[in-house]
Amino acid sequence: MTGITIDDIERSERVRAVTDNFFFWQGRRFIALGLVLIVAAFATMEGVHEIVGNGALIASLIVATLASTLLGRRYRVEFGDVRPIPGSHATRARLKWMLVYPAMFGALALDLLYPLPLLVSGPVWAGGIYLFRRSTGGGRSHYLVLVFMLAAMVFAPVLIGSTSKHMVGLMFLLLGAGYAVCAWLDDCEMRSILRGA
């Protein structure tokens, strides 16, 4: 009879991290959310009519919601009904609603309402994404690239000679494209971990 190795324990911990946070690892569901952020960036650009921009944003949200629902059903067919451990994420839920989201949207409001020579939203949203990665099972080092790129945007207004208000659209463009790629890579990493289980 063979004993359990460190590799077996680490593999088991990775599988548990994925299954306990399975919703957040279903990357194909969230690719469309990245596309919504890209549409939001274009909708707020100068020269885009407000009604056209808002219409495109609402349409993209509807398409993303429908796509997520349909892909959620496909994940259920493929992997079954995977549920987290009851109550295991209560602290995460409280912290994200009481601290992380208010900080992210507060930074965004600051950048839009009080144009600064630094983009405050860049590092704050980078921190939010880093915390998302850590609190949903870790792994997924591809998020670290997006975190670094967003954090570095703090200096974009100074380098371009603009203000934070004018850089928000660029940040959402980067965030949308980066998030779409990260979501796709989440799905790839999830499948690799579960196949090796």
pLDDT at 19: 87
pLDDT at 90: 80
pLDDT at 167: 92
Exposure letters 155-175 (e unless 16+ CB within 10 A, then b): ebbeeeeebbbbbbbbbbbbb
pLDDT at 50: 85
**Residue count of the chain:** 197
Q: Which token pair is 141? A: 């080092």
Q: What is the CA radius of gyration of the chain?
A: 19
The one-digit pLDDT tens for each residue of the chain (197 residues) are 467 777 767 888 888 888 888 999 999 999 999 999 999 998 888 888 888 888 999 999 999 999 999 999 999 999 888 777 777 778 888 889 999 999 999 999 999 999 899 999 999 999 999 999 999 989 999 999 999 999 999 999 999 888 888 899 999 999 999 999 999 999 999 999 988 65
Q: Which token pair is 36? A: 């919504």
Give the integer Cα–Cα distance in Å for 153 and 158: 10
Alpha-carbon 79 to chain mean position: 22
Nearest-CA neighbor of 185 among 63, 3, 21, 31?
A: 31
- DSSP letters, 108-171, are HHHHHHS--SS-THHHHHHHHHHHHHHHTTS--THHHHHHHHHHHGGGHHHHHT--HHHHHHHH
Residue found by looking up tokens 């900080």 in the block? 103
pLDDT at 81: 82
Are 117 and 157 contacting, i.e. CB atoms less than 8 angstroms apart? Answer: yes
pLDDT at 186: 96
Q: Which token pair is 21? A: 């946070």
Nearest 5°: phi and psi at 12? -65, -40
pTM given for the model: 0.87
Name 175's Cβ contacts closer than 8 Å, sequence gap at least 6. 34, 37, 125, 146, 150
Are 175 and 150 contacting, i.e. CB atoms less than 8 angstroms apart? Answer: yes
Q: Which token pair is 70? A: 């349909």
